Amino acid sequence: MTTANKVTIFRILLVPAFVVQLLYYYESGNPRDRVLALVFFAVAAILDGVDGYIARRYNQKSHLGTVLDPLADKMLLLSGICLLSLIKADWQDRMPVWIPTWVTAVVLSKDAILLVGMAVVYYTCGRVKIVPRMTGKVATALQFLLVVLVLLQWHEFVWHLSLVTAILTGVSGVQYIRDGVKQLSQSPLSLPDHRL
């Protein structure tokens, strides 16, 4: 258990703290709860860079880390995006700025398609090779920023940032799908089997 992995596990533990604090805000309307939710989210987001730096700087890259790090990102982002998008009907008076539902649809659709695609590639090829793309990294960073801006209620930037985030998320999804198709095409199992 490396230091980088311990930081990642701490990030995962911050996710329920963030969710509970945001739900407390929905229930009470106390701005302090929203600020605490923002603090938990921001700390978890900052630690995303910290664990990556530790892993690279001190040569602590591990297979466990390659699984836990994106898992921590997805748990934090999906919980934030879903809560700040799908529960808005009863809380318009407390939070007039929300993540548009179409952004949530793009993010969830991309992740669902990639998850199914990874399962297919793993079943067919025996392993999944994921090459990080700059578009995906930027899309993830914009998703983090979008959640922060909504928690801060900075409505001036939310719509435009939502549009750019949705576009880059979709583009990165297409790139990962192309990578998966390329891996599948190189597998012997994808060739025609005349015995069938």
Q: Between these two residues, 60 and 84, which has the higher pLDDT value?
A: 84
pLDDT in tens, 45-58: 999 989 888 988 88
Alpha carbons within 13 angstroms on the beta-carbon side of residue 134 total: 0
d(CA 182, CA 39): 41
Q: Is the dihedral of CA 24, 26, 29, 35 positive or negative?
A: positive
> What average pLDDT does this structure show over 81-105?
81
The first and second tokens of residue 124, run together, are 């067919």
Distances (CA, A) of 165 to 94, 140, 193: 24, 8, 42
> What average pLDDT does this structure show over 78-92?
80
pLDDT of residue 38: 96
pLDDT in tens, 108-127: 999 999 999 999 988 888 88
Asked if pLDDT for residue 90 goes beyond 80, the answer is no
> What average pLDDT does this structure show over 163-170?
97
pLDDT of residue 89: 52
d(CA 20, CA 39): 13
Asked if pLDDT for residue 190 goes beyond 80, the answer is no
Domain ranges of the chain: 1-92, 96-189
* Average pLDDT score over the chain: 89
pLDDT of residue 66: 84
Angle between the N-to-C axes of helices 134-152 and 31-57, in degrees from 0 to 180, rounded to the nearest 10: 160
User: Which residues have a Cβ under 8 Å from the Cβ of 93 and sit 6 or more positions away?
Assistant: none
DSSP per-residue letters across 9-52: HHHHHHHHHHHHHHHHHHHH--HHHHHHHHHHHHHHHHHHHHHH
DSSP per-residue letters across 42-84: HHHHHHHHHHHHHHHHTT---HHHHHHHHHHHHHHHHHHHHHH
pLDDT in tens, 5-54: 999 999 999 999 999 999 998 888 888 999 999 999 999 999 998 988 89
